[in-house]
Structure 1
Amino acid sequence: MVREADPSLNEKQFVLQSLKEGLRVDGRRPYDFRSLQLSFHSDFGHVQVQLGRTRVSAKVSAEVVRPRADKPTEGLLLFNTEISPMASPAFEVGRPSEEEVLISRTIEKALRRSRAVDTEGLCIVAGEKVWSIRVDLHFFDHEGNLVDCACIAAITALLHFRRPDVTVIGEEVTIHSLDQRNPVPLSVHHIPICVSFSFFDGGELLVVDPSILEEQIREGDMTIAMNIHKEICALSKAGGIPLEMDQIIRCSKIATTKTAEITEMIQKALADDKAKRQAK
């Protein structure tokens, strides 16, 4: 179900009163994530993630291209987001909204700029041929917190993906089909996880993993991308009420716990999928 109309005054008051009592409309506590489900398609690197009723699909593909002139020994990592009206009537085809641009930038910072994937390991022949890895993100249902769901989908798809093996003899490059050789996983240095917060009542109240109703009435928001080594990979604070330093520290501590929990879930889902494939 997608909410089209803005929440009424009664809804706002009900949400705020619930939060003051430490409860949320959907029954969660302030720091609880919704249930997370990861499902893998038959193709490597094709993952669907459901966070509550928010649903995002990520598909990774690879092609051989010329490297950038300023980085001749590095492959490329590209992200493409597509939010259609199917996810929410608020989005239009071919016209990226502010929210879509913000999601795209946050994913880019969290995964590419933090060097989560070893792009030097994507080099085939320096200055001539490198792998270009592309992650396509499709948003199917918007029930709040698209960015966290998209980040989980993107990093899980990259961990799940396998590229064709390559042999280089002199200047001759041979790309082996999946029948000839087993495909090769990407070298992933660390697993950044986005944890989003929404703030209410002048910043006194905060929730993790906001629902669409909470997003519509929040006074401010912040997303922290972190890995299990407690390194902050990205921090996004686009407008809204200003935050005190102690609030940011408090959020980073919550993000540390949530990152560890979600990373464990991703690794378990990948291990289960691997076991299923080997059993076939």
Structure 2
Amino acid sequence: MRDTPLSNCERDFLLKAIEEKKRLDGRQTYDYRSIKISFGTDYGCCFVDLGKTRIMAQVSCELITPKENRPNEGIMFFNIELSPMASPAFEMGRQSELLVKLNRQLERCLRNSKCIDTESLCVVSGEKVWQIRVDVRLLNHDGNLMDAASIAAIAALCHFRRPDVGIQGEEVTVYSTEERDPIPLSIYHMPICVSFSFFQQGTYLLVDPCEREERVMDGLLMIAMNINTNN
């Protein structure tokens, strides 16, 4: 990443505003920016706007051979792209530390939480399972990428439909949408990330930091939760 450093005056201004419980966009300390979710014409295509941060998620699938130690389970795969069009800080073709971190956090939030019934993705045990791929592309960067990415990914998974299949002997037939209605994924729960930024050694705390606030924060806390978290 090629970060443009903040001037001392701008940094001091941001920190002073946070001390006075004021934010650049007029929000209160624990106010979340407005969220807009829209869907494309294809199954599994979702756009999320979190303030000025904009993310697109696209889900696709293919039949593959399962892992030897999990012959009856399908596979979930996540891929995040940080385009230079979203921010001059991102460089094309380079795997930055932020990119690696976002991929790992998205996998923990969605795959490791087992929100998808992967056994329902099995077609022929030990031979054919569905691999569900979630491609997440950043279209505009104004902070809190993880929260926006998690919302886009789970919304796209809920919207997605995989092709129906038929099995005759050892032959597997994949039907088109004209032949048979596609099938939604079996989703157990919907985990969502909520991010908090810390300032001045934890003295001040803000939810849903924008890009400028992230520049001066001391640390970040991300909490993944679902509807059952308080139970």
Report if TM-score (shorter chain) is over 0.5.
yes
> Does 2:56 match 1:67?
no
* Contact kept in structure 1, 2:121 and 2:130, CA below 8 Å: yes
In the superposition, the TM-score normalised over structure 2's length comes to 0.95
Amino acid at match of 1:97: S
- Which residue of the partner structure matches residue 16 of structure 1? 15
- Which protein has the bigger strand share? 2
Amino acid at match of 1:78: F
> Does 2:213 match 1:207?
no
* Contact kept in structure 1, 2:4 and 2:89, CA below 8 Å: no
In the superposition, the TM-score normalised over structure 1's length comes to 0.79
- Which residue of the partner structure matches residue 109 of structure 2? 110
Amino acid at match of 1:205: Y
Amino acid at match of 2:29: P
Q: Percent identity?
A: 53
- Which residue of the partner structure matches residue 36 of structure 1? 35
- Which protein has the bigger helix share? 1
- Which residue of the partner structure matches residue 45 of structure 1? 44
> Does 2:211 match 1:188?
no
Secondary structure at 1:167 match in 2: strand
Larger RCO: 1 or 2 (CA < 8 Å, sep 6+): 2
Amino acid at match of 1:173: V
Residues 232-257 of structure 1: CA distance to partner in whole angstroms, max 9, x if unpaired?
xxxxxxxxxxxxxxxxxxxxxxxx9x
- Which residue of the partner structure matches residue 271 of structure 1? none
Residues 189-234 of structure 1: CA distance to partner in whole angstroms, max 9, x if unpaired?
1111011111012101011111111000001111111111117xxx
Amino acid at match of 2:75: L
Q: Distance in 2 between matches of 1:208 and 1:156?
A: 21
- Which residue of the partner structure matches residue 126 of structure 2? 127
Q: Distance in 1 between matches of 2:142 and 2:112?
A: 28
Amino acid at match of 1:99: L
Q: Distance in 2 between matches of 1:8 and 1:210?
A: 19
Q: Distance in 1 between matches of 2:96 and 2:86?
A: 13
RMSD: 1.6
Give unpaired runs (5+ residues) of structure 1.
232-255, 257-280
Q: CA deviation at 1:8?
A: 2.1
- Which residue of the partner structure matches residue 81 of structure 2? 82
